[in-house]
Amino acid sequence: MIIFVIFYVIFAIYYDANQFLESLDKINPYFIIPILFCFTTAILIKSLRQMLFLRHLGIRIPFKQNTIIYLAGLSMLITPAGLGEMIKSHFLLKKYNQPVSKTIPLVLVERYHDALAILSILIIFSIITGTTFLTIPLLIIGILLLVSLIVIKSRKLFPMFQKVIRKVKIFQALENHSIEFNKSLVSFTSKKIFFSGWVVGMVAWSFDGLGIFLCFQAFELDFDFFISALLGLASILIGALTLIPGGVGVTEVSFVQLLSLYGIESSIASALVLFFRLQSIWFVTCIGFVATKFALSKN
């Protein structure tokens, strides 16, 4: 956490601390609640997607408990690739006696669907706005997601995928339970659950896009919904693909660079990005810590 604080201090100084602070003073506070509402709505929709995925695995838990477990997982969002969210498997084991090997694929699938949903929205918005500078990156990401799906569905290629993930410490303990892990993961490639997760993910991330748009409005920047959401979601996807915890550093810098393409001064751009990150990932992480307390309770 201290490292992240140091980064943001350096981030502000690099983009001229005085002008940075002046830009923060320009924020219209009336937008804060609507922004938080959008990001909160996105979270709740993603928690419904988790419930959908759990039911696909034959795991039925009350809506309230599902939401608490989902929110608790967000406390570990600031981990490489967000894999710390696998703490949800611990809660499902302790409270509902569900084997970890069965539920860990849930987090992998959620991360995949997040990337797929954002990619889909970016493609649609790029077409609507006539934006072309993201064409090659989106094409590459699309190919990677398609290849990942093909590998998981392939009986010949899937064993190779298993060898790769077993090099990650958190997956090594699953070696003796690979059959159940494989069964759960592969089951998510069925058409019904795949497209259901895809659609729900796009709805959720559209609310994130709306929250980003309102962040622009809070700074009185004349950007329409499609461009503002396009720039914000693109930076999130870029940051996520680096596997850096929370995408911190990469997301912020890439967002500022994208804003510079539209003539936004670095001080304003950096202030906007910091404001956006506080309202989104850090707000969500704080909610996660609170939810963890409830998830750990015996009741």
Residue 161 in any domain: the answer is: yes
pLDDT at 284: 85
Whether pTM > 0.85 for this model: the answer is yes
What separation in angstroms does the CA of 160 have from each of 157, 165, 175, 184?
A: 5, 9, 14, 17
Residue 12 in any domain: the answer is: no
Residue 221 in any domain: the answer is: yes
Q: What is the pLDDT of residues 275-294, one digit of tens each?
A: 898 888 888 888 888 888 87
Report the pLDDT averaged over residues 90-114: 89
Residue 1 in any domain: the answer is: no
Domain extent, residue 227, equals: 33-296
Q: Taking 80 as the threshold, does the pLDDT of residue 299 lie above it?
A: no
Q: What is the pLDDT of residues 166-198, one digit of tens each?
A: 666 656 656 656 778 888 888 999 999 999 999
pLDDT at 291: 86
Residue 273 in any domain: the answer is: yes
Better-scored residue on pLDDT, 47 or 267: 47
Residue 230 in any domain: the answer is: yes
Query: How far is it, in rounded angstroms, from Cα 68 to Cα 196?
Result: 22
Angle between the N-to-C axes of helices 225-241 and 135-153, in degrees from 0 to 180, rounded to the nearest 10? 50
Share of the chain above pLDDT 90, in %: 44
Number of compact structural domains in the chain? 1
pLDDT at 173: 59
pLDDT at 283: 84
Q: What is the pLDDT of residues 239-259, one digit of tens each?
A: 888 877 777 778 888 988 999
Q: Taking 80 as the threshold, does the pLDDT of residue 162 lie above it?
A: no
Residue 182 in any domain: the answer is: yes
Residue 173 in any domain: the answer is: yes
Query: How far is it, in rounded angstroms, from Cα 286 to Cα 75?
Result: 7
